[in-house]
Amino acid sequence: ISLCTEQHPLNICFRAPQASQTPTPTHLQNALFGMGNPLLDICAVVDKDFLDKYGLKTNDQILAEEKHKEMFEEIVKKFKVEYHAGGATQNSVKVAQWMIQEPHKVATFFGCIGKDKFGKILKEKAEEAHVEAHYYEQSEEPTGTCAACITGDNRSLVANLAAANCYKKEKHLDLEENWKLVEKAQVYYIAGFFLTVSLESILKVAKHASENNKIFCLNLSAPFICEFFKEALMKVMPYVDILFGNETEAATFAQERGFETEDIEEIAKKAQSLPKENKKRQRIVVFTQGKEGTVMTKGDKVETFPVLKIDQSEIVDTTGAGDAFVGGFLSQLVQDKTFEQCIRAGHYAANVIIRHAGCTFPEKPDFH
């Protein structure tokens, strides 16, 4: 795979915004903290035969197993691939930083990479996106990759975590200079995917947020997280101020929790009323539903917000749409905007990202 990076330069164009006349709010620096699996996305438009061969569903996220090993080689040989810096949480904090533009380094990101070419690419991409990434670098495992197999406007993601799976609380998060960055933040976001890697790291950050009345956000991320990592998920849930997910994840979560309803608004309400540590903040639940409206709990009500219309022909690929929604949402949340404004920004960011390959975007946002 590494040979091909030469022929496929990472075609993401970030240029530093021109200095504006208005002073930038430096208190925003490091205000948003994300921790997760940094992965290099290998994106390709594939055919149904390819999905069938490796037992993949059209709109799913899974972890690579032994049977997928060859798939990573075949996708590069058989299809035209593009490489993009990815990983759900990293995508979201990058989009948030892009939406905010200045100051730089509003977002901090922690995760584990290998000391290799792909790791170097991830470091460069984070820098170009003006995200303050502090990677735990180790040489036992190579940098993680994620195959994004695109068919029509669906994408099937297969993640080979490798190095991402090696994140260690005591080797990185607990270090004084790193923990200082955690303490600096006001808003925390971790995708559920990281539950498979380091529950103790998530709990340390979540408890810090809860004890200091800061905002901790978690994403359900994938049906398999709700199903096979539900114990870890429920250990973190009491600290969750904002819970994100899509309609499929919400349905699986409801099934696993025995909610006995398939109605997304009911599921949101029930998820909202699960036990919570910090009583000063009522939990907010936000479920996206692709082109259908986004559902959000508000007090004892549930509201649905329509998404921006887009012509089918303008959709390049939906990889990163959910991550972009969260990134847009967080960009306003960290600036103390209303939840309605957060959703509007989420819809805007997702609408931009689906017009581009991977989780990439134009130089500047056009959001007011």
Catalytic residues: 323
Whole-number CA gyration radius for the chain = 19
Residue 270 contacts residue 236 (beta carbons within 8 Å):
no
Q: Is the dihedral of CA 101, 348, 82, 108 positive or negative?
A: positive
Helices (H) and strands (E) in the chain, counts: 12, 14
Q: Is the preceding omega at residue 103 within 30 degrees of 0, hence cis?
A: yes
DSSP, collapsed to helix, strand or coil, labels residue 358 as coil
CA pair distance 36, 6, nearest whole angstrom: 27
For residue 83, report the phi and psi dihedrals to the nearest 5 degrees: -105, 130
Sheet holding 61-63, edge to edge: 61-63, 154-160, 144-151, 39-45, 82-86
* Other residues' Cβ atoms within 10 Å of the Cβ of residue 364: 13
- Which helix (H) or strand (E) is 340 found in, with range? helix 339-353
Residue 354 contacts residue 317 (beta carbons within 8 Å):
yes
Closest CA to 34 of 167, 148, 140: 167
Task: Give the CA diameter of the chain.
Answer: 56
